[in-house]
Amino acid sequence: MPKAIDVSLEATLDAVMSVQSDIEAFCDEHDLSPRTGFVLNLILEELLTNVVNHGYKGTEGEPIALKIAHEGELIVGEIIDHAPAFDPTRLPPPDVEASIEEREIGGLGVYLSLTMTRDLTYARVGDTNVVRFTLVDELPPRKEETQ
């Protein structure tokens, strides 16, 4: 079971999906709450899929580096790619109040990632995009608190 995740992926949707088992093993190893595991999987699926589809525009064989570590109550992650510069933190938020018919396509995955993390930052370092995020492992409320 992984103490940390430090992998290099090929930029394909299959590779993005294959990371899910690594995330599940990581969450089990660190006894993270089911909610935290769900959020971590969702964020990674959204961010990595954006790199594959929009950054590399579906060009297979391009690298994506993924690092995930557990530090105290925090889960810290880093995604590094060589796609053209793109800062997801600068996207305008989607109009979540608009009806489905009126809502513009795109941006919801980044918006969810921004709102579900403690922080999400972007830096362009040389020819790489570096996205870092932190999550807090939050346990679900006890049954007596939800009634």
pLDDT band at 139 (very low <50, low <70, confident <90, very high): low
- The angle subtended at Cα 25 by Cα 59 and Cα 31, nearest 5°, is 135
Which one has a higher pLDDT value, 145 or 39?
Answer: 39
Residue range 110-115: average pLDDT? 82
pLDDT in tens, 31-46: 999 999 999 999 999 9
Whole-structure pTM value? 0.85
Tell whether the model's pLDDT for residue 143 goes beyond 60: no
Longest Cα pair distance anywhere in the chain, in angstroms?
52
Sign of the four-CA dihedral 25, 64, 96, 101: negative
Provide the token pair at 5: 């995740």
- The angle subtended at Cα 7 by Cα 122 and Cα 18, nearest 5°, is 100
Q: How many residues does the chain have?
A: 147
CATH topology of domain 5-137: Heat Shock Protein 90 (3.30.565)
Residue 44 is inside which H or E element, if any?
Answer: helix 34-50
Tell whether the model's pLDDT for residue 93 goes beyond 90: no
Tell me the one-letter amino acid at 109.
Answer: G
Tell whether the model's pLDDT for residue 103 goes beyond 70: no
The residues with which 68 forms a beta bridge, in sequence order, are 5, 77
pLDDT, residue 140, reads: 52
